[in-house]
Structure 1
Amino acid sequence: MSAKNATSARSAISESAVLKKVTRRLLPFIGICYIILYLDRTNIGVAALQMNDELAISASAFGFAAGVYFWSYTLCEPFSNYILTRIGTRVWISRIMITWGLVTIATAAVSNEFWLIIARVLLGFAEAGFSPGMLYFVSRWFPAARRGVAMSWIVSFICLSGLLTPLLTGILDSFDGLGGLSGWRWLFILTGIPAVAMGIIFYAVIRNTPREAKFLEPAEREWLQGVIDQEDAQNAHTAHNFSAGIRAARVWVLISVFICVTFSLNGLQIWFPQMLAALGFPSPAIGWVAALPSLVAIVPMVLWNRHSDKTGERPGHFVAAACVAALGFAVAALTVHTPAVAVAAFCVAAIGIYSAMAVFITMPSSFLAGAALAAGFGLINGLGNIGGYLGPQVTGWIKDLTGEFSAAILVFGGAMALAAVITGLLWRSTRNTTKRASVEA
């Protein structure tokens, strides 16, 4: 679409009205998919309250089983996103959701540590590509200036998934013994079914690009598709092909940052129910308290991301949020014998880590476009999720070694501080390069 035609289309429609239509149509639906995703990622942490004793799994073995899923996930992530660029989001995300739901349901049948590990590896294969694929999908529907708000919607729904933690803990007790199955087995069954159902609905509802959107008027489709195409074309400083996203130096720096983020986030999510049990919270209260940090994080995270959109600045916003997370974890580690203070500190850490994540996922689109952006998302999310394995595993090692969680929580804070330092150095290097280019020009 030419610049002249885009300008003409813009004059005939309300830009805000179009983006509101897209927001109402897509983001709540995508958000529900993310809630189901995080149910799938956190159910093992709740299941462990019963499962570990029944299957005689140690803390280290549980940490390995919880985190090994990220091995296969990491291995398949870039390739999965490559397939997505070839066959489209609609087909590929539907396939991902249906297969991960089936694997989750099958996990209810495991009988020992070995088969739990196999199930987790298969889950990683099944789920690989979902998050980067969805982030790429959002970039195909929202102009750059609105992506921060769109991404904050996604992270808000991730936070809201914490509301379902009390439901998960309730399943352990309410369904325990039903049909001769333990509560933790029912937990896997009941969290796998929604993924299969939503995968089918996704295929029926979603379209790949604005050009295919029947809920928009022809002029609205033309304008929105034109804006996205123009922004891709105007990124003259980078190539658009898939291999360019893999070769980009900044992508590899962001991988190291994301390793730190997923280390802390997944370590906390997987072990938080057991941390609360160690703090002395009774089983019925654990689900509600476990949901608190992510719920408290929603409003600050949205406001912080809106400020990032308004200023057009990303790295500095990430650094500030990551420092807040590091501080929260440090205080939590030092106050583990004072439950109320520790939970408040975990809330501060959650505000920081979720705000940092919401800003982080907008950063690749500032220097990548088209298939290169899909490659970048896939590589960052894939290799970056090495931290998703290390966080639960290292926490298990530390718990077995020390008998408590305080040192592991302190490591979470150190990882977020390191993420802030790396991003700060990247930010400074990029600014210096831009200044030199301006002087030379």
Structure 2
Amino acid sequence: MILLSYFVALVDRANISFAATTMNADLGFSETIYGIGASAFFLGYSLLEVPSNLLLAKFGARIWLARIMLTWGLISILTAFVHTPWQFYAMRFALGVAEAGFYPGVIFYLSSWFPGEHRAWAVSRFYIALPLSYIVMGSIAAPLLAMHGWLGLHGWQWLLVVEGLPSVLLAMVLLTALPDRPASARWLDDAERRWLEGVLTREAEAAGPASHNVLRALANRFVLMLGLANALLYLAVNAVAFSAPKLLAHGTGFDVAGVGRIVSAGGVTMAAALLSVSLLAGRTVPRSLLAYAGLMFAAAAGLAVLWLGGTAASTICGYIVFLAAGQTAGMLPLAIVSRLVPAADRAAGLAMTNTIAQAGAFFGPLLWGVLADWTGSYALGVALLIPVAASSGLMGLVVRRASLKLTPG
């Protein structure tokens, strides 16, 4: 259920990238206008991140995740009927407000089910929704855009409406079927419940002194450092992701269907990378951080190929390497924070880590759009993202060195 929920969230968040291939021309939006709208999502998302996660901890995952899904589904559908830039900005901002707290909320939820050594594995099993969303979006975007003219709607409007409906329906499923804690899981017997609750309790006690002081959680050095590393990651990834269809079309000369196949291939590669990293690097914090750094250096290399190549083949290869490495790295920071922050501070710490990261997510599409309008191409934007991705990898190594003093080995 968590995997399906995250899948439809990602589709509703990023389907605007395919819609933009025709929406921008239909509505007269420049790259800058589109970049502002894409970034507005992350502004709303970051402002409500911490409050949303604290409310999830208070009301329980079942009620709060269902609320999040219902509101973001309705807003995604309403985005299909915008006509002006300010309407577009408002809908994207509202979508961010609606979805705020979902991802760190899920990490917090999983931390109440899975012991630390299994947590990266568990995160990877729902994070696999990310590559699945690329595969599905790449496959269905062209047919949905081809519905242009049905009932007087543009193809991009049909894309937003059809892809927003599953969120509304799945919210009802979560509300009735998602258990908040192992104690309410029907598939566990009494002995299994006692064992799991006991393991999680002992782990929380071993994590060190806990405090419900929110400011203490927000000032945790691992929260701040991993938030900054993730901000640099998101700056690079979101700048490319929200313009990927147009970037790939420009670099390869392919139509929407051909670009969709490239995006789907990137999703398959990303899925393989996610599963591999979760198996090989998720059991200890230092290994997870080493994997994070290596993935971000690979992402920088992919951007270099994308920038220097100048051919259809280099565009495809550079994009797929960058996408698979960068998005796979994105699953690690919050899983690591969940193991380094005391249990009682975890909800606020996870939310704050993700809030810091949203600064990069906000500025990425915005600056990308401004540079594209200014230069008439995406080349400068790609070049500037290479050191950004590499810096995120270096920050991962810095955090690893600090974590060794706390969790040797």
Q: TM-score range by the shorter chain?
A: over 0.9
Distance in 2, matches of 1:432 and 1:217, equals 39
- 1:108/1:184 contact within 8 Å kept: yes
Give 1:240 deviation, angstroms: 5.6
TM-score (norm 2): 0.95
- The reply to whether residue 317 of structure 1 matches residue 291 of structure 2 is yes
Q: Which residue of 1 aligns with 2:28?
A: 56
Q: Deviations over 1:179-225 (max 9, x none)?
A: 11111111111111111111110111111110111111111111111
- The reply to whether residue 251 of structure 1 matches residue 223 of structure 2 is yes
- 2:245/2:256 contact within 8 Å kept: no
Is the alpha carbon distance of 1:240 and 1:309 closer, same or farther for their aligned partners in structure 2, counting shifts above 3 Å?
farther
Q: Which residue of 1 aligns with 2:176?
A: 204
Count of aligned residue pairs for this structure pair: 405
Q: Which residue of 1 aligns with 2:71?
A: 99
Give 1:248 deviation, angstroms: 0.9
Q: Deviations over 1:74-98 (max 9, x none)?
A: 1000010111111111110100000
- The reply to whether residue 140 of structure 1 matches residue 112 of structure 2 is yes
Distance in 2, matches of 1:176 and 1:144, equals 49
Q: Which residue of 1 aligns with 2:327?
A: 354
In the alignment, residue 119 of structure 1 is paired with which amino acid?
A: M
5+ residue gaps, structure 2: none
Q: Which residue of 1 aligns with 2:9?
A: 37
Q: Deviations over 1:370-425 (max 9, x none)?
A: 34111111111123112111111111111112211122122332221111112212
1:229-268, aligned counterparts within 5 Å?
Answer: 229-236=201-208, 238-239=210-211, 242-268=214-240
1:260-409, aligned counterparts within 5 Å?
Answer: 260-279=232-251, 280-310=253-283, 313-335=287-309, 337-409=310-382
Is the alpha carbon distance of 1:421 and 1:199 closer, same or farther for their aligned partners in structure 2, counting shifts above 3 Å?
same
In the alignment, residue 235 of structure 2 is paired with which amino acid?
A: F
In the alignment, residue 205 of structure 2 is paired with which amino acid?
A: A
Is the alpha carbon distance of 1:291 and 1:99 closer, same or farther for their aligned partners in structure 2, counting shifts above 3 Å?
same
Q: Which has the larger radius of gyration?
A: 1
Distance in 1, matches of 2:227 and 2:273, equals 25
TM-score (norm 1): 0.88
Q: Deviations over 1:3-35 (max 9, x none)?
A: xxxxxxxxxxxxxxxxxxxxxxxxxx2111111
Q: Identity percentage over the alignment? A: 28
In the alignment, residue 132 of structure 1 is paired with which amino acid?
A: P
- 1:267/1:395 contact within 8 Å kept: yes
- 2:334/2:353 contact within 8 Å kept: no
- 1:66/1:120 contact within 8 Å kept: yes
Distance in 1, matches of 2:314 and 2:84, equals 37
In the alignment, residue 236 of structure 1 is paired with which amino acid?
A: G
Give 1:247 deviation, angstroms: 2.3
Q: Which residue of 2 aligns with 1:4?
A: none
Is the alpha carbon distance of 1:399 and 1:323 closer, same or farther for their aligned partners in structure 2, counting shifts above 3 Å?
same
Give 1:311 deviation, angstroms: 5.1
Is the alpha carbon distance of 1:413 and 1:154 closer, same or farther for their aligned partners in structure 2, counting shifts above 3 Å?
farther
Distance in 1, matches of 2:403 and 2:202, equals 24
In the alignment, residue 152 of structure 2 is paired with which amino acid?
A: G
In the alignment, residue 72 of structure 1 is paired with which amino acid?
A: G
Distance in 2, matches of 1:311 and 1:127, equals 30
Distance in 2, matches of 1:249 and 1:351, equals 28
Give 1:267 deviation, angstroms: 1.5
Q: Which residue of 1 aligns with 2:136?
A: 164
5+ residue gaps, structure 1: 1-28, 436-441
